[in-house]
């Protein structure tokens, strides 16, 4: 019985989120645009996330290299270390780790911010002041997350590769120029472009889920906390689902 009802709740919520996302395309993208608020959100969402994303990117590249080395040494192919690490970072680890860190930081803050605005009637107050809250709050944030995550991912990739260079240098000596030439020669556009495009979808998911949870927050501190929390959980899961879908799609399109 409870299985049926939880399946129904799940489908119900999926439908509501789809409708919310649909509203973004049907209403949110129409003029007049809230350019000023969009730029402010890009600053908060993108620029302010950079130190965190950079740090995790660096550690990720470094640790990945240190972990991969012993196996490669076993097979006697440690000279391929930069190639292995480069492909792993650019194609998968960079986008997914950055997206998850981003979800943890941004989905929760959007969920909590809009949630508390909702329960203290600030959103209604905006509407009374001649402002469409969906355009002003939701559209700006969703566009900002969709634009900023790809940029952050590229930056994180670059920093992770630098971390990998340091990782390689722990046990052997490589010239930085030689390292990057080796990495980039093994990478093609079909490695980079699909990986960047999928982060647009990841960013969109983070923005939409954060805003949806905030807009549907229930009253009280607990309600707001729950929106923030479930925004992170749901957007993280959705990032993995989208990752699975995009890898299938790029396979079908013959990018691999």
Binding site for other proteins (CB under 8 A): 113, 116-117, 120-122, 124-132
Nearer to other proteins, 12 or 121 (CB): 121
Nearer to other proteins, 51 or 130 (CB): 130
Nearer to other proteins, 107 or 155 (CB): 107
No. of H helices and E strands in the chain? 12, 0
State the nearest-atom distance from the C-beta of 132 to other proteins, in Å.
6
Distance (Å, whole) CA 198 – CA 152? 13
3-class DSSP assignment, residue 222? helix
State the nearest-atom distance from the C-beta of 130 to other proteins, in Å.
4
Alpha-carbon torsion, ordered 209, 215, 216, 222, to 10 deg: 90
Q: Which of 15, 12, 97 is nearest to 60 (CA)?
A: 97
Distance (Å, whole) CA 115 – CA 232? 14
Q: Determine contact, residues 255/154, Cβ cutoff 8 Å.
A: no
State the nearest-atom distance from the C-beta of 127 to other proteins, in Å.
6
Nearer to other proteins, 99 or 117 (CB): 117
Angle formed at CA 159 by CA 153 and CA 160, multiple of 5 degrees: 85
State the nearest-atom distance from the C-beta of 233 to other proteins, in Å.
25
Nearer to other proteins, 100 or 138 (CB): 138
Nearer to other proteins, 101 or 119 (CB): 119
Sign of the CA dihedral with 218 first, then 222, 224, and 230 last: negative
State the nearest-atom distance from the C-beta of 30 to other proteins, in Å.
11
Q: Determine contact, residues 24/137, Cβ cutoff 8 Å.
A: no
Structure-block tokens of residue 18: 């789809």
State the nearest-atom distance from the C-beta of 123 to other proteins, in Å.
9
């Amino acid at each position: 019985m409870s299985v049926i009802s939880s399946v129904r709740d799940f489908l119900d919520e999926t439908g509501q989120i789809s409708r919310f996302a649909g509203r973004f395309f049907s209403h949110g993208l129409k003029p007049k645009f809230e350019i000023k608020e969009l730029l402010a959100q890009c600053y908060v969402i993108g620029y302010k996330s950079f130190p965190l994303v950079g740090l995790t990117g660096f550690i990720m590249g470094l640790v990945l290299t240190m972990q991969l080395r012993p196996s490669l040494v076993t097979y006697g192919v440690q000279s391929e270390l930069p190639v292995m690490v480069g492909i792993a970072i650019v194609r998968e680890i960079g986008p997914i780790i950055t997206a998850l860190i981003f979800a943890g930081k941004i989905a929760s803050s959007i969920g909590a911010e809009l949630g508390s605005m909702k329960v203290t009637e600030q959103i209604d107050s905006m509407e009374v002041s001649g402002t469409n809250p969906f355009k002003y709050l939701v559209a700006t944030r969703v566009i900002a997350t969709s634009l900023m995550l790809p940029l952050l991912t590229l930056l994180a990739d670059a920093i992770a590769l630098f971390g990998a260079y340091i990782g390689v240098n722990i046990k052997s000596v490589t010239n930085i120029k030689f390292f990057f030439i080796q990495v980039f020669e093994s990478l093609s556009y079909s490695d980079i472009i699909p990986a960047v495009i999928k982060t647009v979808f990841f960013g969109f998911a983070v923005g939409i889920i954060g805003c949806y949870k905030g807009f549907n927050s229930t009253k009280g501190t607990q309600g707001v906390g729950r929106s923030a929390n479930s925004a992170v959980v749901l957007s993280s899961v959705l990032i993995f689902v989208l990752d699975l879908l995009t890898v299938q799609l790029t396979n079908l399109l013959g990018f691999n």
